[in-house]
Chains A and B, each alone.
Chain A
């Protein structure tokens, strides 16, 4: 689906020079190939190293050998990484377009903190231990905080600082609550300290089956919003003149971002900076057209997430570094670099 979308779009933008469109389409294909390579690496690399032959055997001719069992185990983890990465990247791209703010990110906007606070509430006060329970709580938390940040920080012309501060402030308050709960309840602390760093280790087939419908709906919605969001980026008045329905686009965008982040966070725990970095990098070579940014973000975000996951397994072998930690430690410096590069007046 993602590979097909550029061909339809080619017909819709006759003004762009054909060579550039070809380059973008080829680039997208190359990105998909890179994604395949990273996904294979994610299956092959770990405490038990597998050769490509063993991976092939496990994927297509599985006969229950030791290697096949390992492959089976790592497939669900890799699939979850693919889905969650695409979800976070799309959500970040949609939020950045919606707020006309290159620094918007589900983590910075407090959506992750909302999901975390809701999950710790579910564990401690409602005794929920299964993922199917977490998902609903994480959704509720993400939606509530998303709406709060939007209302407090941005509903009257979002500036980067206003939104980032509203999100960070609400996150800070929610983390205070998180700490209080963890002090009172050792069992919750023991669960939450692994959940809050964000990791793909909890992936099982049933996990994926539970979040898959939400992720698919969110992704389709996000990709469908490319054209109205393109119009929005030109400013409210121009967008209205071009026939975009501002309120509908805003509400649908928030909905898509919330569904995507909520589901990804419920499955993996909070993972920051993927949604910030990838759309940014993508924009630097596709330009501001969201019909290209969104598919690219959906392909390259899982590359980053799976890459970080593999890196976490390599640097801390035979144990592993959780993917959320790797992305934050890689992403923080990129964020600071972006802040430094932009002129203060623009912020």
Chain B
């Protein structure tokens, strides 16, 4: 009830209905968290103070966790020295460790987390389901199939595995979209087609694993869990370039996505070209997820949990794209730090930590959502 009212109020603001047209109750409710910055000539920008605060705090948390993570390892470096080295003021040994070994790994972690968080938020908004994340839709399994083909059949090196995963993820995403298409793509069909796809891909992966020798199988399982170890600058640049293109594109279409949450007919009447926006956003989400998976493996649950956590922090019903992105980055880097602290340097990959944390979170989510009658 409360969220419905709030959604109503924000959407009216979105569609440009001016203050005079709003009822007093709604404007009072809206002004608690939202305020508008009004410029000359009747231009105004809505400012969600709470969401902005959350984004800033999450960014700070992600950066702080990154600094701590750079200082963690067999050769610990205090946080102050890490900052000094990053600013180009450290000694030669620290500079090598920070700039060549640990910084690229942390950057890959940040970018992968951000991509997964944003991709997850997009998928959840498009499928209108809090559980409609790329893990469950089979994108992770598709990328895994691509990577396993490279590892098992061609004994490929890291670069070839990355390409294989990218191709596998994109092909699976495309197949899910086409199979779910029937005069438009609807949330439930998308989820169920994804579940079927995921089962097929799991079988393919199982087959490839039985065909591998034990060394390749062990390597495959590590890749399938998702790991950041040994990532270098070669992985950073493509991911950064992709994010630089896709993140602004997605954020620019966030308004249409928010209106689409009210249903296709309403948003069409409000001037959103529904199928076009949906195709564009879904393509972006598939690209982001596939690229992140190619770089780090199918790190589980980040895409599922980041948007949900972000939504609970901002208390905003919209798709929460930017907060989810920051939350994903903070989550992944923190999980990598936990895996290094708890299990020792590079004993267990980061995917194990996100899997355990995510599993616990998921059960809690299922219970609360069921109590609230939302799923």
Contact = CB atoms under 8 A, between A and B. Distances in A.
Contacts of B210: 193-194, 197, 322
B57 to A, nearest CB: 28
Interface stretch (B74-82, B213-221, B269-277, B312-320): B213-221
Interface residues of A, number: 49
A297 interface: no
A190 B214 contact: yes
B180 to A, nearest CB: 8
A183 B222 contact: yes
A14 interface: no
Interface in A175-217: 176-177, 179-180, 182-184, 186, 189-190, 193-194, 196-197
A336 B355 contact: no
A117 to B, nearest CB: 11
B115 interface: no
A179 B351 contact: yes
Contacts of A162: 370, 375
A335 interface: yes
Given A177-B359, A189-B214, A182 B221 contact: yes
B225 A183 contact: yes
Contacts of B224: 179
Contacts of B135: 172
B162 interface: no
Contact of B202 (A165, A179, A328): A328
A86 to B, nearest CB: 22
A339 B207 contact: no
Contacts of A103: 192
Interface stretch (B30-38, B89-97, B182-190, B283-291): B182-190
Contacts of A152: 363, 366-367, 370
B358 interface: yes
A322 B208 CA distance: 11
Contacts of A160: 192
A133 interface: no
A165 B221 CA distance: 25
A328 B301 CA distance: 24
B197 to A, nearest CB: 7
A184 B222 CA distance: 10
Interface in A315-347: 321-322, 324-325, 328-329, 331-333, 335-336, 339-340, 344, 347
B195 A179 contact: no
A124 interface: no
B370 A328 contact: no
Majority DSSP secondary structure for residues of A touching B = helix
Contacts of B207: 197, 321-322, 325
A173 B358 contact: yes
B179 interface: yes
Given A173-B362, A173-B363, A344-B186, A332 B200 contact: yes
A161 B301 CA distance: 19
A193 B216 CA distance: 12
Given A169-B366, A179-B224, A328-B202, A193 B197 contact: no
Given A173-B359, A183-B352, A339-B193, A325 B203 contact: yes
B221 A197 contact: no
B129 interface: yes
A166 interface: yes
A165 B199 contact: no
B191 interface: yes
Contacts of B10: none
A325 B205 CA distance: 9
Contact of B199 (A197, A322, A332): A332
A139 interface: no
Contacts of A161: 129, 188, 191-192, 375
A336 B221 contact: no
Nearest to B360: A173
Given A183-B221, A189-B214, A347 B192 contact: yes
A162 B131 CA distance: 10
A173 B364 CA distance: 12
A164 interface: yes
Interface in B317-375: 348-349, 351-352, 355-356, 358-359, 362-363, 366-367, 370, 375
A108 interface: yes
Interface string B126-170: 000101000110000000000000000000000000000000000
Nearest to B179: A336
A173 to B, nearest CB: 3
B238 interface: no
B152 to A, nearest CB: 11
A137 interface: no
A164 B221 contact: no
B192 A339 contact: yes
A335 B226 CA distance: 29
Most-contacted residue by chain A among B188, B192, B206, B355 (CB, 10 A) = B192
Nearest to B184: A344
Given A176-B359, A324-B206, 19 more contacts: A165-B129, A165-B131, A168-B195, A172-B301, A176-B301, A176-B352, A176-B356, A177-B355, A179-B224, A179-B225, A183-B348, A190-B217, A196-B206, A197-B206, A322-B206, A328-B203, A336-B197, A339-B192, A339-B196
27 contacts: A108-B199, A160-B192, A162-B375, A165-B191, A169-B131, A169-B362, A169-B366, A170-B363, A172-B136, A172-B301, A173-B359, A173-B363, A179-B224, A179-B225, A183-B352, A193-B206, A197-B207, A272-B199, A324-B203, A328-B199, A332-B196, A332-B203, A335-B195, A335-B196, A339-B192, A339-B193, A344-B186
